[in-house]
Amino acid sequence: MKQQSSGAESGAADAGMGPAATNGTSGHAAKSGVAREYQAFLSDVEDLVSSTTSLTGEDLARAKASLSARIASARASIDNVSGAVSDEARSGAMATDSFVRSQPWLAVGIGAAGGILIGYLLGRRGS
């Protein structure tokens, strides 16, 4: 198997789940890390499927353990990314709420201007 030497710990590091990914500023890096983790997982599965016919009992057990570690690492990566996305969304909602409460008329003006702009663009598109 190609990724047999990498365990769950290195999978999490490869997935961008180090200290930089947990501070909320590198959501994009965490998402690309999940994509790398997914590609490595698919590669491991393809290797396992292609070599299943030639594996003996001990080799099959080793491949199964490696695949189980990769699955655990992928699940942890997905959990981290989903937690980071929900934290960012919650933070954005709180900042928006704070802004609207501190300057309600400015928020109304921005919303009205946005609505007029969107209406104008959609009106031009239809003609």
Q: Please state the domain extents for the chain.
A: 8-126
Which region among 30-34, 116-120, 121-125 has the lowest average model confidence (pLDDT)?
A: 30-34
> Is the pTM higher than 0.85?
no
| Tens digits of residue pLDDT in 26-37 | 556 656 666 777
What's the chain look like in SS3?
CCCCCCCHHHHHHHCCCCCCHHHCCCHHHHHHHHHHHHHHHHHHHHHHHHHHHHCCHHHHHHHHHHHHHHHHHHHHHHHHHHHHHHHHHHHHHHHHHHHHHHCHHHHHHHHHHHHHHHHHHHHHHHC
Rg (CA), the chain: 23
Which region among 1-5, 61-65, 76-80, 107-111 has the lowest average model confidence (pLDDT)?
A: 1-5
